[in-house]
């Protein structure tokens, strides 16, 4: 019985070596013996940056791949729930608040920003002759509820609400609210499907 156990472990190790390679596997093992994993069950697989950490909260079971970047500017907050997964090159920046629920999945190269330089609607809009970096920062709360799936190369802009269970397709730009259990794609993102609990399937919107 012990020999069978050894064989299974060796088989699994060989599979991991074949899949990741020695270098990547060593990085993976390093992530599991880090302070964040041992005490908070958080895994950063590769380089990551957390700027203004006291205003960034990350739940247990979190996993992020290479080049995760999160910055809470003065007055900003980033709150990430439990068991969220971010693929490579995620970028989060906040002057207001970004709130992400539990069990959300993010594809690679996702950009989430609750702010922008200048104002381009309503009263007192920005003058194009003004240098962009000098324009007044405008910001608004972003809420992403639990069980949301965000595809690769998605941009989520300020003031957006994405409801529980919704899906945003790859290469989309989210500029308006997406209620729960909907599927949206495009730039700007538009709803194309809704989930029917009665039929237990996604149907055209």
- Known catalytic residues are 117
Closest CA to 84 of 57, 111, 47, 116: 57
102 phi/psi in degrees, rounded to 5: -70, 155
- Per-residue b/e over 111-147, b at no fewer than 16 CB within 10 Å? bbbbbbebeeeeeeebeeeeeeeebeebbeebbbbbb
d(CA 92, CA 78): 8
The tokens for 107 are 């594809």
Do residues 178 and 166 touch, judged by C-beta distance below 8 A? yes
Angle (CA) 104-185-99 rounded to 5° is: 30
Distance of CA 69 to the CA centre of its chain: 10
């Amino acid at each position: 019985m012990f020999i069978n156990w050894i064989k299974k472990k060796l088989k699994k190790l060989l599979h991991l070596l074949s899949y990741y390679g020695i270098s990547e596997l060593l990085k993976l093992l390093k992530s599991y013996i880090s302070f964040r994993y041992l005490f908070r069950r958080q895994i950063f697989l590769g380089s990551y940056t957390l700027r203004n950490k006291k205003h960034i909260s990350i739940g247990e079971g979190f996993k992020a791949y290479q080049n995760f970047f999160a910055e809470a500017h003065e007055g900003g907050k980033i709150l990430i729930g439990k068991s969220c997964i971010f693929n490579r090159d995620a970028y989060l920046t906040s002057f207001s608040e970004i709130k992400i629920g539990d069990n959300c999945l993010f594809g690679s190269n996702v950009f989430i920003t609750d702010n922008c330089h200048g104002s381009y609607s309503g009263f007192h809009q920005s003058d194009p002759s003004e240098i962009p970096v000098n324009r007044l920062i405008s910001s608004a709360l972003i809420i992403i509820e639990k069980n949301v799936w965000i595809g690769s190369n998605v941009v989520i802009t300020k003031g957006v609400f994405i409801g529980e269970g919704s899906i945003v397709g790859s290469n989309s730009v989210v500029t308006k609210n997406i209620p729960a259990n909907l599927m949206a794609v495009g730039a700007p993102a538009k709803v194309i499907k809704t989930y029917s609990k009665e039929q237990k399937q996604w149907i055209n919107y």
